Amino acid sequence: MTDLVTLDDLLAARARLRGVLSPTPADRSESLSRLAGRPVLLKPEYRQRTGSFKIRGAYNHISQLPPGQAVVAGSAGNHAQGVALAAALTGREATIFMPEAAALPKVEATRGYGATVRLEGQVVDECILRARQLAAETGAAYVPPFDDREVIAGQGTIGLELLEEVPEVEAIVVPVGGGGLVSGVAAAVALSPVSGSRPRVVGVEAAGAPTVTAALAAGRPVALERISTMADGIAVGSCSEITLAHIRAFVDEVVTVDEEEISRAVLLSVERAKAVVEPAGAAGLAAIAAERIGGSGPVVAVLSGGNVDPLLLTKLVQHGLSAAGRYLAMRIVVTDRVGVLASLAGDLARLRLNVLDVEHHRSGLRLGVNEVEILVTVETRDRAHHHQIIEDLKAHGYHIEPAS
């Protein structure tokens, strides 16, 4: 039987982390609360040292190792930085294996904390295997990303903080990859003495990486055959026996969100909360916005990390705008005559639309001899606005349809 973390483990982790962590008090977002129709609070772990919650578990584990013992780990980013900083703070060498295609900002940040970075392997699982091999060969300590009691207890300090910061909260919503974070938070909520009702703890997975959902259905950890999600921080192929045991014991529910919901949540966090959050960190907010979390009382989303490549962030914001209906691309076929483009421009101006892109074609398989095709993209308020625009232009004689 798997040993679960205890309240003493959680309290000891909190004591070890005192003076190490940056404060991340939960705060209410008025704009997100209006949008969700219930009080929404945010736990900003993207402001934590290293840009994510991972320093909590990494430091709790590493600080208990023999003085001077080197550490190794495999990670694509957040765990790498947490281990690197924890090693530096405890005066030991760290070697981190990262995928060859790892984002350059994450690689440089890990090196910046003093770790030796080895770019080997195509995926994180290969990096973890190499890290374990090096640990066996050299006597260094391997630091797991989630499948470890000390790591889980460190992550669980977030739960202890939330019980004090927002005692009235009805639900705590946590991103789930391998399950270390949700295991720790849920254990803290379940084991801590509290007055009144306890908040529910809901884990949120990417639909393209439903690791825990698959494990719960199978009754054991299973390796996913395929992972497909922009949320690389929770793109894990399998949970572990220890995280699955904690989830079964303490987590109330696990839900999934799709890619459009995640990208919209990234956009929401930037626009409404002024928070730059990576896709994995926005998974909890995505579930709240998509009304996956039952109840009407206060709900807190753990924004677990903000280590996103600026180039990826640009793409995410664009994708989020599209998913939220903020763009409308139209294919308009009209008679080829002088002034037709100017006429269309006048109608778009009448509708007070900002034109983002225009393409003008006089040839194509779908066009008649005397026809011209205009592909135009405009800014819009939402999807309802799309319908208003299309109906107005049709009423003014345009043959119009959404562009594919």
Provide the residue type at 38 as one letter: R
User: What would the two tokens of residue 50 be?
Assistant: 């290293």
CB-CB contact of 56 with 17 (8 Å): yes
Which phi and psi (to 5°) does residue 247 adopt? -65, -45
76 secondary structure, DSSP code? S
Confirm whether 363 is a catalytic residue: no
Say which of 240, 263, 269, 304 is annotated catalytic: 304
Helix spans in 18-64 (H): 30-36, 54-62
For 210, 218, 226, 287, the CA distances from 213, given in Å and listed in that order, are: 5, 9, 14, 15
Residues paired with 377 in a beta bridge: 329, 357
Q: At CB < 8 A and 24+ separation, what contacts does 114-121 make?
A: 114/84, 114/87, 114/88, 115/80, 115/83, 115/84, 115/87, 115/88, 117/80, 121/74, 121/97
Confirm whether 394 is a catalytic residue: no
Say which of 29, 43, 54, 238 is annotated catalytic: 54
Instruction: Give the sign of the dihedral formed by CA 283, CA 289, CA 291, CA 294.
Output: positive
Round to whole Å and give the CA distance between 218 and 223.
11
Round to whole Å and give the CA distance between 31 and 317.
18
Residue among 340, 280, 334 at smallest CA distance from 304: 280
Residue 50's contacts (CB-CB under 8 Å, 6 or more residues apart) are 78, 81, 82, 84, 85, 109, 113, 307
Round to whole Å and give the CA distance between 113 and 51.
13
The residues annotated as belonging to the active site are: 54, 304
